[in-house]
Amino acid sequence: MPEWMLVAVRTFAAILALLVVTRLLGKRQITELSVFEYITGITLGSLAAYVSIDMQENWYLGFVALIVWAGMSLLIEFLQIKSKWFRDLVDGRSTVLIKEGKIMEKNLKKERLTIDELLQQLRKKNVFKLSDVEFAVMEPTGEINVMLRKEYQPLTASHLGVRVGPEREPQTVIMDGNILDEPLATMGLNRDWLLAELDKQGIAPENVFVAQVDAYGQLYVDVYDDQLKLPEPQQKASLFATLKKCEADLEMFSLSSEHESAKQLYGECARLLKNVISDLEPLLTR
């Protein structure tokens, strides 16, 4: 077999081996890798390259090394899951850099982190003033996470005492023009509903690049033609306006009715509907 063909076959085999190993080792972003996992990745890549281009007769030993490295990595990950002591030994512990608004200089030196590097990492978290920080910690991956002082934290609905409805993840129901039945079933919907919604907008399914349904049944559609303007969904706004109109009509009937019993009935219905609208407003006006 010619050398170039031998190299091609070995490279193909090495790529397959790396794919298998990476699937076994799990899914992690580069920024989430520990030092040991980072070194393991570099080593596995080097071993795969050795298998591809080494012309000596013992090139197959590279596969042996790949298997050993992968096996050891899996064993270490298993021990990390089972033992916090072993996890701390391999990955290290989180280091507090700022506590109660005070910079921990000793911990900065321990992590070999300069004040310039600390400020740079804070800016990545959209924090530009040290006085805004209550607590900051360096994770074993090297990432710095920040907790702002109470007065600088963003307001949420719970801070304002506003009731909001539960939020579920949206489901992608069309991808590359193909309807996905499983996400539709997850939302309690079917193809007939989806086709009817698309028909309202005058869109054929095969012209849709991607479509999503949120927890409130709102359909977002993106078509292949970027010049095409799609109507904004108005179901919730229309329902809110209809409810407000019903409330106003009931109040008007209460005021204009000549019979006292009817007046009281209309007034009570208006009051009940007002309470319902108050409960639904966070859902219908978002």
| Res 133 pLDDT > 90 | yes
Contact between residue 31 and residue 143 where contact means Cβ atoms under 8 Å apart: yes
| Helix pair angle (61-82, 35-53), 10° resolution | 170
Overall CATH class of domain 95-152: alpha beta
61-91 pLDDT tens trace: 777 888 888 888 888 888 888 888 888 888 7
Q: What is the pLDDT of residue 164?
A: 66
Nearest-10 Cα torsion for 125, 131, 134, 139? 40
- Phi and psi of 142, rounded to 5°? 100, -10
Sign, CA torsion 129/135/138/140: negative
- Residues 265-277, mean pLDDT to the nearest whole number: 88
Q: What is the mean pLDDT of the chain?
A: 83
Question: Can you give the pLDDT at residue 29?
Answer: 53
Count of beta carbons in the 10 Å neighbourhood of residue 15: 13
Confidence of residue 254 (pLDDT cuts 50, 70, 90): confident
Q: What is the CA radius of gyration of the chain?
A: 30
pLDDT at residue 138 greater than cutoff 80: yes
Report pLDDT for 24.
Answer: 74
Task: Determine the Cα–Cα distance for residues 146 and 153; give it in Å rounded to an integer.
Answer: 11
Nearest to 49 by CA among 102, 3, 11: 11
State the pLDDT at residue 262: 84
Is it true that 95-152 and 171-232 share their CATH fold?
Answer: yes
Q: What is the CATH number of domain 171-232?
A: 3.30.240.20
DSSP lists the bridge partners of residue 213 as: 171, 219
Domain residue extents for the chain: 3-89, 95-152, 171-232, 236-284
Distance CA 133, CA 147 (A): 6
**118-130: pLDDT as tens digits:** 999 999 999 999 9
**Residue 106's pLDDT is what?**
93
Q: In this prediction, what percent of the chain has a pLDDT beyond 70?
A: 86
CA dist., res. 231 & res. 229, Å (int):
7
Tokens of 261: 């019993």
